[in-house]
Structure 1
Amino acid sequence: MAETTELTSDITIIGGGLAGLTAAIGLADHGFDVTVVDRAAQEALTDVSYDGRSSALAFASCQLFEAIGVWQYMEPYAQPILEIRVSDGPSLLHLHFDNETLGDGPLGHLVENRHTQIALFERMKELDNLTFLAPTKVADIKRDKASATVNLEDGRVITSKLLLGIDGRGSMVRAHAGIPTSKIDYKQHGIVCSIEHEFGHCGIAHERFLPSGPFAILPLTGNRSSLVWTEKSHLTETIMSLSDRAFQSEVQRRVGDFLGDVKIIGGRWAYPISLQYAHDYVAERLALLGDAAHGIHPISGQGLNLGLKDVAALIEVLVDARKVGLDIGSTQVLNRYAQWRTTDNASIYAITDIFNRLFSNDIEPLMLARDLGMAAVDKIVPLKNFFMSHARGTVGDLPKLLRGEKAL
């Protein structure tokens, strides 16, 4: 597409990562003209060294990707999660979820973020009403009652009815709007790497609660798994500076021998962990989604899934508004999105915060209480099924896309 100085679209999105590009594709698939701006080039976003993380995509999130035509490009790289086993350090008491209990598909899928990003770009090529501008930076944003205007550093100007900030925890869109945030620093880092192992994982995801934080072993395709090792921040630099041999030895010790011999594949990354949330999700002609609106502890694996719920809800709100002739950037329309997502997200903030504080310690009375609690939940079928439904993303007032339906 030839570059022009002035561009007009229905919606401008700042941020072309996983949530941002999913939103763009979903909106374009529902007939909106969309322009996406990102400061990173497409090649950088899909480079193997850019993001070493994998995401546990809930069943409902996978239905969203199916509904907007992305799943066909993701499926070859997606490992079904058939069981989840939660344990508390060396305790013999545990919590076990399996997909056969509910009987309608896996609990979710594990997909490397890089492969999801590649799949999104493949689907993007098929949409003529989606423009991707990268690498480029935003120079200025102006919003008024009629429109939102984004001035780029390369001289191009984009005018639209609605601006979406899906540009991560350090969102410049949120800062421009003057929306305050609250933040809790857990003084933890998530150390991420992938391993190859001798024995098969059988599609089982393991989460072990240790005094420093959860240690997750998440199944990838083949005899591979993704590790998310939560550690106290003051120890992270020491761990990350270990030699390859010493790091692998420590990983093998923590994983144990149930997967046989373990080999580190690829790099290792460390990410600071905190809880952060915006006080408002919307402002004049503007809405925040994904990490720009909220970032949570990875203890539940729900971070990206929350962002995808934002995406599905906003698409449905905008489609409904268009049906009755409302301005998609109006306060009335955006407030519906904010009200829909605020309550659901707030409950997840609270749950992940409480679980992290409850499990990231070795206080004996708490250890006993949480072990007995897990064992009790494992035996109470209705409660256990509720938690499984929650893990699958099928609890609450679901947008149509999360049910696998178009929002039309």
Structure 2
Amino acid sequence: MQTYLVGGAVRDALLNRPVADRDYVVVGARPDDMLAAGYKTVGKDFPVFLHPQTGEEYALARTERKTGPGYHGFEMHADPSVTLEEDLARRDLTINAIARDQDGKLVDPFGGARDIEQRVLRHVSDAFVEDPVRLLRVARFAARFAPLGFTVAEETMALMRRMVANGEVDHLVAERVWQETRKALGEPRPSAFLRVLRDSGALAVLFAELDALYGVPQRAEFHPEVDTGIHVEMVLDMAARLAPGNDLVGYCALVHDLGKALTPHDILPRHIQHEERGVAPVRALSARLKVPAEHATLAEAVCRDHLNAHRAFELKPSRVLKLFTAMDALRRPERLEVFVIACEADKRGRLGHGDEAYPQADYLRRAHAAAAAISAAPFVERGLSGPAIGSAMERARIEAIDKVRADLLPH
């Protein structure tokens, strides 16, 4: 019975990154051996156990055999005869197929350490094509490690294109697509997630609304990058810079311009009313991916009103108040912060504009605080009741927003 540290903990240590979770593989043991040693069983599908003291996961070495389409179609085999190399061989990427024994020695049968040095994301074996989730995982790892210079090996990309062509990704269920997408949106460079999916052909299958944005022109005086798909990539990366790890802001950034794919060709490169056109595809994508309700609600708000945020100083105070109430931000102030950051990411996610100031953010935050500070109590004390209280509060909030605007605008 031998125990090895495996996977991400080994990889991240070799990259000099903080190690969060530690997973172990046990070779030469049966479930009864683990239970006898005090380990607690967890899960139904795989022989995984929790250490009695640390709570870390220890899995029996296992192999997997493809038995049907999709990521459910696998038959698992675990017994004491399964070797460490056989267990590592079922993993997706070489950088995740490295083990470290109890003496600290690396066990690296597939060259993962070399690929870490060369900054390459490479599949372990041709069995990679058997699990469509792996395609999404490669794209997610690209989003995590692109800042370190990692790229996808051409032979791995070729396998991914074959998976798309063979219809393997068609078997992915919404929950798994969203799970990997959500993680990617919290990575440092989520644009790499889109690029890998697009290069493999999977973006057109899984995110047709996003794929349709590539090649759609925008006015160069506002968007020097011109291509709408490239703009979305830049907005995603700016969102990751402004709100690291925040997949809610990331999702709003991802879908904010879906309406531009629906712009009539005769008015291009202008995109008149693209905000309104974008609401329907945002709703459709959110429903198809089964995203959380808060993601769906705020993504729609950003899509619908991001241009209003950009021209916030030009809006009447009453319109600014409607902006807040439309997203229920007076009762839920955290929503305003997500909205503002996503809109700032849109404004700064343009070629040559990444370091520009966005004073609209400060104005909207201050205006929101001023409006939210208006309560019903003073109006009740004045003897108002019923709808009159609401009307008085609305007028007071508009006046408060107007004062903030006057204070911020140059005299």
Of Structure 1 and Structure 2, the greater strand share is in 1
| TM-score class normalised by the smaller sequence | under 0.3
Of Structure 1 and Structure 2, the greater helix share is in 2
* Greater relative contact order, per chain length (Cα 8 Å cut-off, separation 6+): 1
Structure with higher Rg: it is 2
Q: Give the TM-score normalised by the residue count of structure 2.
A: 0.21
